Amino acid sequence: MTKIDHIGVAVHELEPAVKFFQDNLRLELKEIKELPERGLKIAFFQVGDTLLELLAPLSDDSQISKFLARKGEGIHHIAFTTPDIEAHMAELTEKGVRMATPEASIGAEGFPIAFLHPKATHGVLTELIEKK
């Protein structure tokens, strides 16, 4: 069954945002990690079966810098589980659904991920994640 794996929220600065969610929503911090190749510093909170992922830029050319400049802080993407990412992507491509990433890559959690283009998904950047 498909689940929402995580919801990604873009923030300008990680530490104050982490503290806000810890202190005010009593969320349990799972981990903080840096992904220099994507220019990102991220924090995961465990919220039931779903993670809340805070994404902050490490540099001006990070993967979320354009988003932050255009839209400011806010919900950046929603990630849904898929049993077989390659088969799922092939199916989407065949149907003409626009992908934001042409190939799957390994995401912050260590699982294969791919993004559907927000123009194809009613305005929501949508991630597929294959969790074994």
CB of 79 to Zn ion, least distance (A): 5
Stretch of residues binding Zn ion (CB under 5 A), selected from 17-25, 82-90, 98-106, 123-131: 123-131
Interacting residue with Zn ion among 7, 79, 85, 89 (CB under 5 A): 79
Q: Which span sits near Zn ion by CB under 5 A: 11-19, 36-44, 73-81, 93-101?
A: 73-81
Q: Are 117 and 123 in contact (CB under 8 A)?
A: no
The span of 14-22, 43-51, 64-72, 74-82 binding Zn ion (CB under 5 A) equals 74-82
Q: Which of 37, 11, 18, 58 is nearest to 108 (CA)?
A: 37
In the block, residue with structure tokens 């830029």: 57
**What is the C-alpha separation between 25 and 117, in angstroms, rounded?**
31
